[in-house]
Structure 1
Amino acid sequence: MKKPKSIRQERILTELNQAPSLRVAELARRLDVSTETIRRDLDELTEQGLLNRTYGGAVRSLSTEPSVTERHTLFVAERERIARAAVQILKGAQVLMIGSGSTTVHTARRIAVEMKNITVLTHSFGVATVLAINPTIKVVMLPGDYHATEGATVGAHTVAFLSGFYAEFAILGASGLGPDGPSDALLECGAVYTTMVARSARTLVVADHSKHDRLFPARYAAWSAVGDLVTDQAPAQALRDCLDANAVRLTLA
C-alpha cells in the first residue's frame, strides 16, 4: 500500500500538470496539509528532477523528464490498469515493436503473462528483461548507442535495423499528449518511435493522465498515424476532439 507521502507527491505533480505554476499556500490548501509539509515535498521532488522550485512555489518542467528509473515509482496502479487494457487490444498479434518507458515496461510485463509464441522487437532493456519470464516469447534487442537514463538503445544503427522488419503493432509511451500527437522529451527516442510507427500496421500509445495536454520537443507521430490510445482518465475536451477527428480509439483503464 502506498504511503501517504507518496500519494501526496503524486497529487502535487498532477496539480502542476493542470497549471503552469502553483504557490506553496495553494498546494497546501488543495492537499489539506501544512505549508511546511508542502515545502519538504517540493524539495524532494526537485531533487528527483520532477519539478523546478520557484520563489514561494513550483513549476513542472515541460521540456525535461526524469529518468526511466524514477518514473517507475509514479502512477504504478494506473499504469498497471493501462497495461491490462492494452493487452486486450493486442490479442492475436504475432509480432510487436515496443518502445522504452515506464508504462511500456508495465505493458510488456502483462504481455509476458498473457501472451505466448510471439516475437518482440525492442530497444528497451527494461522491456526485454520483463519479457524474459516467458520462454515462448522471442525478444529481438535492437542495436545502437546506449542511453543510460532511458535504459535503451538509440541512434542511426537502431533506426536502420528497424527498417528491415514489419510488426502488427508498435506499442509506445509518451512524455506528452498534445493536439498534434504524442511527443517525447528525448529527441533520440523520438526518432526510434517514429520508425516503429512507420514499420507497424497499427500504433498503440499507452500513457497515464499526467501526460495529457503536455508538449515535448520530439513529436514522433501525428494522431492520424495512431490507432489506439489507452490511458487512465478521460482527456480534456480539446484533446478528445483531436482524437475523435483522427479516429483514434480511446480506451480508459
Structure 2
Amino acid sequence: MKSSKSARHADILAQITEQPSLRVADLAERMGVSTETIRRDLDELTRRRLINRTYGGAVRAPGAEPAIGQRHGLFVAERERIARTASARVTPGALLMIGSGATTTHVARRIAAEHKGLTVLTHSFAVATVLAINPTITVIMAPGAYLASEGATVGALTTRFFNEFSADLAIVGASGLTEEGATDALLEPAAVYGAIASRAATTMVVADRSKFDQMFPARYATWRELGVLVTDAPPSGALAAALERRQVEVALA
C-alpha cells in the first residue's frame, strides 16, 4: 500500500535516526513506491537540510535534527513510556524547569494529568500549552526571542531568566548523548538547556535510545552535571561506562 509523502518523510527521518545510512531501493520496497519517488523525497529532505544525499541513498546530515513539529510524530510509544517514568519522579509542590523538545512535551502532558500544585518554569510554548489543562499548576514563561523551529524562546533574556531561579528538578531532552554528556543540534536552545541544568538540585535527561552515541555541535552539560537519565533501553559501551563512572542513575521506561 502506497504511503503519502508526509508519511514517507516521517518514516525516512525515523529510520535515519536508527541507522547510519539508507538505500533508495530498500526504501522504495518498504514503502511501496518507485525509486524515482524516493529519490524526490530524499532530494526534498536534503534541501531542508535534514539529511545528506549519497549515491544510491542518504545519510543523516551532521548536526541536523527535524523541526519540533516533525519530531512529535517520531518514537511516540517510547516517549510515552519515558514520560510515565519521568512523571513518577516529580514530588508534590515542586518547582520544575522544563526545556523545549518533543520528549519533554510528552513528559509535561503526563505531569499535567498526574500532579497538582506545581510551579513550572519553561521557555517552550508546547510545554506550557499541555500543562495549561491543569489549573493547579502555575506556569511561568521565560522571555526571549522566539525560535519557530523549536516553538520556544531563546537568547540572553531567556538564560538570564532561568539563572534568577533555583529549581527542585530540571527536565531536559537532548539531540544526542555521548560519553561526554548531552548535546543539541542547535546552539541557542543548548545555551538555555545549560542554564536550566545548572539551576536545579537534580537534572533529569529524557531521551529515547535513538539518541545514544549521537554527537551534535553543542554540548550543554557533562554527565557530572546530570543526575538521572530516563530512557527506553539500557545504554552500552562507552556511554554506559561514562554513566556508571559519573554515578548517573539510569531509569528504564
- Where do residues 12-51 of structure 1 align in structure 2 (5 Å cutoff)? 12-13=12-13, 16-17=16-17, 19-25=19-25, 36=35, 39=39, 42=42, 45-46=45-46, 49-51=49-51
Query: Aligned partner of 2:115: which letter?
Result: M
Alpha carbons 2:8, 2:31 under 8 Å: kept: no
Equivalent residue, structure 1, for 2:94: 94
Deviation for aligned residue 1:198: 1.1
Equivalent residue, structure 1, for 2:170: 170
Q: Find the aligned partners of 2:239 and 2:246 in 1 and give their Cα distance.
A: 11
Alpha carbons 1:48, 1:66 under 8 Å: kept: no
Q: Find the aligned partners of 1:238 and 1:6 in 2 and give their Cα distance.
A: 36
Q: Find the aligned partners of 2:92 and 2:200 in 1 and give their Cα distance.
A: 15
TM-score (norm 2): 0.88
Alpha carbons 1:93, 1:169 under 8 Å: kept: no
Per-residue CA deviation, residues 209-240 of structure 1 (Å, 9 max, x unaligned), is 22111111110100111111111122232211
Gaps of 5+ in 1: none
Q: Find the aligned partners of 2:9 and 2:78 in 1 and give their Cα distance.
A: 15
Aligned residues: 250
Deviation for aligned residue 1:41: 5.8
Aligned-pair identity in percent equals: 58
Per-residue CA deviation, residues 108-157 of structure 1 (Å, 9 max, x unaligned), is 00000001100000000000000000000000100111111111111111
Q: What is the aligned-residue RMSD (CA, Å)?
A: 2.6
Per-residue CA deviation, residues 143-191 of structure 1 (Å, 9 max, x unaligned), is 1111111111111111111121110111000011111001111111111
Alpha carbons 1:171, 1:204 under 8 Å: kept: yes
Q: Find the aligned partners of 2:191 and 2:225 in 1 and give their Cα distance.
A: 15
- Where do residues 1-253 of structure 1 align in structure 2 (5 Å cutoff)? 12-13=12-13, 16-17=16-17, 19-25=19-25, 36=35, 39=39, 42=42, 45-46=45-46, 49-92=49-92, 94-253=94-253
SS in structure 2 at match of 1:194:
helix
- Inter-CA distance 7–151: structure 2 relative to 1 (3 Å threshold): closer
Per-residue CA deviation, residues 46-97 of structure 1 (Å, 9 max, x unaligned), is 4665322222110111212121111111111111111011111223351000
SS in structure 2 at match of 1:89:
coil
Alpha carbons 1:62, 1:214 under 8 Å: kept: no
Alpha carbons 1:24, 1:35 under 8 Å: kept: no
Q: Find the aligned partners of 2:184 and 2:27 in 1 and give their Cα distance.
A: 28
Query: Aligned partner of 2:70: which letter?
Result: E
Q: Find the aligned partners of 1:63 and 1:44 in 2 and give their Cα distance.
A: 18
Task: Give 4+ residue runs of structure 1 displaced > 6 Å after superposition.
Answer: 3-11, 32-35
Alpha carbons 1:48, 1:70 under 8 Å: kept: no
Gaps of 5+ in 2: none
SS in structure 1 at match of 2:140:
strand
Q: Find the aligned partners of 1:32 and 1:148 in 2 and give their Cα distance.
A: 31
SS in structure 2 at match of 1:92:
coil
Query: Aligned partner of 2:156: which letter?
Result: A
TM-score (norm 1): 0.88
Q: Find the aligned partners of 2:145 and 2:231 in 1 and give their Cα distance.
A: 30
